[in-house]
Homo-oligomer: A and B are copies of this chain.
């Protein structure tokens, strides 16, 4: 191997050619493609040495912000839309199947399995909400034995894990399992918008760009069933003030849900609620496993 020396115009090819042919083929491909686009960005921007150094320092501060409880590079990936794009290329669904969105950092494994209809709110704070619907296949048939893992922030925009000692453990989390009718049903509280952690380099970047750090109110779902692709998604409140500007780009048109304020005493009684509440009716359609 005797590649040409580095020059401004074929820099990416010269750098890519250094990978050994004995190296793992996928590692070489990732290297080649990242170098190609990184060099294209440098060529287009023509950063000054000072701008380059500021980028180095930004990445360094981002790394130093990461610990067991904070992942600032994931946050960076999120606010640049990279996490959503990776989600998109990995979850192309057949027509009719429900769409996915980002998992987010607040999922907790091991939430308790609850009887259908249970209230996942353990501290009785917030405005009551009833969520119900069915888990279906793309032909419209109910799926028996689907496992539905739901979690949400409370009425102040915090997850239990962000308020250890304030909220009860596993507050606003639960796992449900459908019967042969595919139906699910649980009680929670109306969620609220909240900011992603904005006290680090990513927050500084958002501020420099005039971007806010808020995510619109949403509920999280992971739905799994034998013979089907698992679905990680949210549903959103279309009336949320941040619905058009989710800081992490998780919103999709198809993920809107109606949060209907329900105060008719007959309807309250029929749904076995004790006070006026928000009613959310939402089916999900799973794609067959490939």
Number of residues of chain A lying within 8 A (CB) of chain B: 77
CA distance A61 to B209 in the complex (A): 27
The reply to whether A209 and B19 form a contact with Cβ atoms under 8 Å apart is yes
CB of A106 within 8 Å of the partner chain: no
When the two chains form the complex, which single residue of B42, B60, B84, B92 contacts A86, counting CB atoms closer than 8 Å?
Answer: B42
The reply to whether A47 and B249 form a contact with Cβ atoms under 8 Å apart is no
Enumerate chain B residues within 8 angstroms of A253, measured Cβ to Cβ. Answer: 5
Q: Which residue of B lies closest to A51 (CB)?
A: B30
Looking at the assembled complex, report how far the CB atom of A250 sits from the nearest CB atom of chain B, in whole angstroms. Answer: 7
6 contacts between A and B (CB under 8 A): A5-B253, A22-B210, A30-B45, A49-B87, A60-B71, A62-B63
CB of A117 within 8 Å of the partner chain: no
The reply to whether B56 and A15 form a contact with Cβ atoms under 8 Å apart is no
The reply to whether A37 and B41 form a contact with Cβ atoms under 8 Å apart is yes
Enumerate chain B residues within 8 angstroms of A33, measured Cβ to Cβ. Answer: 41, 44-45
* Also in contact, A27 and B88, with CB within 8 A (given A33-B41, A249-B6, A252-B5): no
CA distance A63 to B37 in the complex (A): 22
Name the segment of A72-80, A156-164, A181-189, A278-286 touching the other chain.
Answer: A72-80
CB of A226 within 8 Å of the partner chain: no
CB of A3 within 8 Å of the partner chain: yes
When the two chains form the complex, which single residue of B11, B30, B245 contacts A18, counting CB atoms closer than 8 Å?
Answer: B245
CB of A260 within 8 Å of the partner chain: no
A-B contacts besides A34-B80, A46-B90, 7 pairs, CB < 8 Å? A6-B252, A15-B80, A15-B249, A23-B209, A34-B45, A40-B40, A52-B83
CA distance A74 to B39 in the complex (A): 15
CB of A208 within 8 Å of the partner chain: yes
Top 8 nearest A-B pairs by Cβ distance? A63-B63, A20-B210, A15-B81, A37-B41, A8-B88, A6-B249, A23-B210, A37-B37
Enumerate chain B residues within 8 angstroms of A46, measured Cβ to Cβ. Answer: 89-90
CB of A273 within 8 Å of the partner chain: no
CB of A135 within 8 Å of the partner chain: no
